[in-house]
Structure 1
Amino acid sequence: MRELGTGIGWRPEIADAVEGLAGVDWVEVVAENICAGHLPDSLLRLRERGVTVVPHGVSLGLGGADRPDEGRLAELAAKATALGAPLVTEHIAFVRGGGPLTASPALEAGHLLPVPRTWDALDVLCENVRIAQEALPVPLALENIAALFTWPGEELSEGRFLAELVERTGVRLLIDVANLHTNHVNRGEDPAKALAELPVEAIAYVHVAGGVERDGVWHDSHAHPVPPAVLDILSDLASRATLPGVLLERDDDFPPAEELAAELAAIRATVRGAAIRPTGAEAGPVAAPAPAPRPEAGPVGAPGTRAVDAGVRQRVGIAQAALLSALVAGTPAPEGFDRARLRVQTRALAAKRAGVVARVAPELPEILGGGYRPAFLAYAASRPMRGGYRRDALDFAEHLLIAGRPEDPVARRRLTTWWQERAGARPPGRTGRLVRAARAALVGRRAA
């Protein structure tokens, strides 16, 4: 396993600070935020200094029911090559649902959602991982994600799910200790148990990040300082294995460079202070439970060779589409879910959409002023994202124009000009508005 050392997530907002931080051995960049043929100058300078750069994907959705998109895989492969990266990373999550597999409207979450820890979902994930491994020029590592809710009827713990995944595919792991803390608060899962079940030899590196608790729910915000509880889990993990790399994530509300340096120093001190736990009886590790038996009788074939039946993908797809529709399209929550937690997730998804759209299209909050956020949240309540955040910004602007908003004529003209310049079309007239409204109503009935 390649030694990475101590790193930090590279973001454009803190590019200068990252370049000036002492002791940064490597950085991680969100893959979707860069182009292979036009890398940011800051990343090029870091590479020239010998700093390793790892692309971190967020949109493959390897835990989804569909097979990975070939175009997305090709783009990720090109970015890994352009950066000279030793590996690429992604998430154990699904980010979209519906479509031809389930004969239902295609939906985008705009967020990483947890897969059910079932044998069916594991089978689908493993086949998707093998497809991705074949398409990528470097090894793949997958990250455990944070979640606000639990799927009903789960058959494996998080640790056993990850261990089975590694055994079948040989994939490496990116362990996010902040996400283990999040799942401890939100789902009552014991981080020590998860760590005891992990195949620690498969760890490629570790994420550390901050969050905030509101009304008994922990939000993995990446916009707050790393709390002591997360450092405690990092210490526990570092006592069980030598960690090839540890990275600090920060995605919003960026502090001054000296605060980032202090957090990096705390991470280094935590790892150094955690002695490797002795092996054998004197170690006293948390005992890992026996693997849960598969519901099917008989062998399933050698690890990594079991083909996924189309019916399995469809079952997983139907369950994921129903959940996603409840979260982003206002349909009823599927049976067995904590409805209060799903409402929290729905609000979080809408708030994230509003925030990201404001970043990718800053002209919208400028034109709409204080009315931007309530208008966007009202729009998002019944209109799922259908093609990424830039498409979402255009759809939101079109929605406002069709409704004759904003009421201020100067602001409406500015919004019309903004929309025309990017959509390459005229705002629809009365007939077009009626057609679009009818189409939107039909889509809503189908989603229901």
Structure 2
Amino acid sequence: MTAISRRSLLFGAASAAALLVAGCGSDDDGGDGGAKPAGASDADIQAALDAGGSITVWAWEPTLKQVVADFQTKYPKVKVTLTNAGTGDKQYTALQNAMKAGSGVPDLAQVEYYALPQFALGKQLDDLGGYGSAKLDGTFTPGPWGAVHSGGTLYGLPMDSGPMALFYNKDVFDKHGVAVPTTWDQYYEAAQKLHSADPKVYITSDTGDAGFTTSMIWQAGGRPYKVDGTSVGVDFTDAGTKKFTTMWQKLIDGKLLAPVNGWSDGWYKGLGDGTLATLVIGAWMPANLESGVKDANGKWRVAPMPQWEAGGKVVAENGGSSLAMPKLGGNKNLAYAFMKYATVDAGAQSRADNGAFPATTAQLSAAAFRDKEFPYFGGQKVNQVLADAAGQVASGWSYLPFQVYANSVFNDTAGKAYISGTTLQDGLKAWQDASVKYGQEQGFTVK
């Protein structure tokens, strides 16, 4: 996944509503219609590869280009057209428009984990159970594997993952004699010390980000979303949520967070000149630092995500995406063959070799992966920290079946805590109210 896609708000309310209406209404616009679920045996899939044909894949993930080339070399009778229909929200809008029109739908599409439930509930994706996908249990780490299931049904295969870690500028911490924090209490103390030593230095930036906020709540033990089909619960008053908001509010009140938007020019500048000292972010970040913050080459390091309890080993996911099979696509057997090749078989290794952070246990546990030294990070074996984090993702997290809409209104609600006297906890209550209202308008039972 690209940096932009991870932070994008995805498609807007109108498109989200259209998708939900399509899924929750009649079946004549792309729903099940009582049709037999897709599926095939291994022999059927091999026969399809031998016979050949063509498939179209919509995805923006750059490492898939090499996967397509390798796949076509291995199966010369198969033609794979890889199309970048836009990143995140742009692709989802194009995909929804094609689904609504009933034509031009790709055979496979890249869908981010938090967007997958919305497409699944809209009955726009194939159930992969008929392809023997239960055999893949254990192939992927728990976080991504759980993220591609909705209501117990598998709707995609994980492409990558985003277990969280602490990225920090070692030069800045060393210069000011501040210890790298291992707990969130220490993180707050480090924020105070760094900013006191140099008012230009901030522990990090945050102007309000839905994905970061939900990931932090996830790690803190909060489970604000309860989903059972079209019955949904939204409650940001649980203990885990309050644990996060209490600590983060201290950073906001102390003006210890740089008022810089993520992924902006100012953000990249701060990461390069040392005025932004840390990032708490997904494991996909190294390549973004290497390519976007070249001035800080050799200065950054990676440490485990700070914990709520000393000695803990609990993290959350931040980012990641799957390959899914739209129902209105064709060439199902070839599509599944490529999906499995790209995410499980040889393509998984190719993508890891080319910079993707894997979701597969085989790649994560390989010595060549874990022992790789990163010159940008001072020769540190960064993947050891990140691979360990992948096995520490807390279970039990759910996204809303309309999370794409909810995230799009985050800054209008919870985001006000960063620019006004509204507290973060009150901001989350406003976000909760907006999410409940929208869900009810779309026909969900929401409480």
The TM-score bracket by the shorter chain reads under 0.3
**What TM-score, normalized by structure 1, do the two folds share?**
0.25
**What TM-score, normalized by structure 2, do the two folds share?**
0.25
